[in-house]
Amino acid sequence: MRQSTFAGNRTTTPSAVGLARLTEKKKEFDAVCALERASQLFVQRFDGISDNLDEMAAAGEIFGEVSSQWANMFQILANYLQTREVETAEGVKQETVVERDGLVRVPMAIAKDQSSDA
């Protein structure tokens, strides 16, 4: 005769092999949960790094814009200093033009051409 497969007929005492397998599966499950938590922490850290890099990129763009405007600012200041008004002893304002010495950038190719022509 064949044994019944009805659930009520099974023995309710777990075997040692079943307990060992259950313990092993629980350890695997705990390890997977720990791995998932660790990966979520890495995702959060990388999101933070990404946000920081986005801020640094925006700051770099602003720095570039400000740096490109410095040349214009120096030119404006130089023009102002050249044509500023000076009060004379009589109290009359008089514009003065001041000759200024400045550096001139000469490209090396032009300088070499001129020196070879001479």
Q: Please name the residues in contact with 82: beta carbons below 8 A apart, sequence gap of 6 or more.
A: 97, 98, 100
Is residue 7 very low, low, confident or very high in pLDDT (cuts 50, 70, 90)? low
Tell me what the mean pLDDT of segment 8-23 comes to: 77
pTM beyond cutoff 0.85: no
| pLDDT for residue 37 | 97
Q: What is the pLDDT of residues 50-92, one digit of tens each?
A: 999 999 999 999 999 888 888 888 888 888 877 776 555 566 6
List strand residue ranges (DSSP E) for the chain, in order: 85-87, 93-95
pLDDT at 107 over 80: no
In percent, the amount of the chain with pLDDT more than 70 equals 61
Check residue 45 and give its pLDDT. Answer: 97
Burial of 22-41, coded b for 16+ CB within 10 Å and e otherwise, reads eeeeeeeeeeeeeeeeeeee
